[in-house]
Chain A
Amino acid sequence: MSDIIGLVFISIGLFFDVIGCLGLVRLPDVYNRLQASTKCVTLGTCSILFGTFLVVGFTAAGFKALMCMAFLILTSPVAAHAIARGAHRAGVKLCKDSVVDEYAKDKEGEA
C-alpha cells in the first residue's frame, strides 16, 4: 500500500518538474524564470524524494532521502536569492512588461 502512495508522489513530482522546465523555456526574463523553476522544481524533487522514502521504507537510503529533502528545502531558496541579487547587480534588465522596479530606484539613490 505504501508503495502505491509513494509512486503517486513520484508522479506528482515528475509533473511539477516538467512544468518547472517549461517555465524555464517559456517565461521572458531571468527573475520570472527563477520564480517558476525554483518553486516547481524544488517541490517536485522533494515530492520525488518523499515518494522514494515511502517505497524504500526505513532503511539507509530512505533516511538519506529525508535528509536530502530537508537540505533541498533549506538551500534552494538561498540559491535563488543569490542568483537574483547577482543578476540585478550585474545589470540584467527586467522584461518589457514589468510594472515597477523599486530596487533600481533605491540603488541609484545610494550611488
Chain B
Amino acid sequence: MKRKTALFIIAFVTWVFLNWVPDTQHLIIGALASLLVVFITADLFTERQYTVKHHLRYWYFFTWYLPVFLWECFKANIDVAYRVLHPRLPIRPGIVKVKTKLKTDTALTFLANSITLTPGTLTVDINKDEGILYVHWIDVKAKDIESATKIVVERFERILTKIFE
C-alpha cells in the first residue's frame, strides 16, 4: 500500500509540473491517469522502501555523484570529438570483462549508465549473479580483469556504494 501511495504521489506531481498552470479539469484527469498508472505498474516500483528515508543519500547524490558524472561526461565528449575528427581514426576497440561488488538493481543500473556515458566505454551485458560487466572499450589499455576494473569501474563504485547500498 505504501508503495502504491508513493508512486501515486510521484506520478501526480509530475503531471502537475507538466501542466504548469493546473485547473480543476486537469487535476481530475491527472488523478485518474496516475491511478491507472499505479494499478498497472506498482509491482515494478522500488522493492526496498526503507532506503528511501535516509536523507544523507540524497546529499551524496547531488553534491558528489552529479558533479563527478557531469565532468566525466564532458571529458567523454571531448575525447570522442578528438577521435572522430582525427584523420587517422586512433581507435583500438575490444570487449573486456570487469568485476563489481555492487548487488542491488538500482546501483547496477546507475553503474552501467555511468559507464556508458564516460570516456570510451559502453556496457554490453551484465551477469548479475557473479557481478561481471562486459564493457566495450574504444581504446583498450588493459586486457585482464583486475587492471581493467581499476580503470573503468572504481571511479564510480565507491560513490555508488555510499549512495545505494
Contact = CB atoms under 8 A, between A and B. Distances in A.
A and B, direct touch (CB closer than 8 Å): yes
Interface of A: 16, 19-20, 22-23, 26-29, 31-32, 34-36, 38-40, 42-44, 59-60, 63-64, 67, 73-74, 77-78, 80-81, 84-85, 88, 94-95, 97-104, 106
A70 to B, nearest CB: 11
B137 to A, nearest CB: 9
A27 B17 CA distance: 41
B89 A100 contact: no
**Chain B contact patch, size range:** 35 or more
B95 A103 contact: yes
Contacts of B21: 60
B95 A36 contact: no
8 contacts: A35-B121, A35-B136, A60-B20, A64-B18, A81-B122, A88-B124, A99-B93, A106-B97
Nearest to B97: A102
Given A38-B116, A94-B93, A103-B125, 18 more contacts: A19-B80, A26-B84, A27-B84, A31-B124, A34-B122, A35-B80, A35-B138, A36-B83, A39-B80, A77-B117, A78-B113, A81-B122, A84-B124, A84-B125, A84-B136, A99-B93, A99-B94, A106-B134
B17 to A, nearest CB: 6
Give the one of B20, B83, B95, B125 with max A CB within 10 A.
B95
Contacts of B121: 35
Interface stretch (B32-40, B51-59, B71-79): B71-79
A35 to B, nearest CB: 5
Give the one of B20, B112, B136, B140 with max A CB within 10 A.
B136
Contacts of A35: 80, 120-122, 136, 138
Given A77-B116, A84-B122, A100 B95 contact: yes
A36 B117 CA distance: 10
B160 interface: no
Nearest to B73: A43
Interface string B56-96: 00000000000000000110110011011100010111111
A100 B84 contact: no
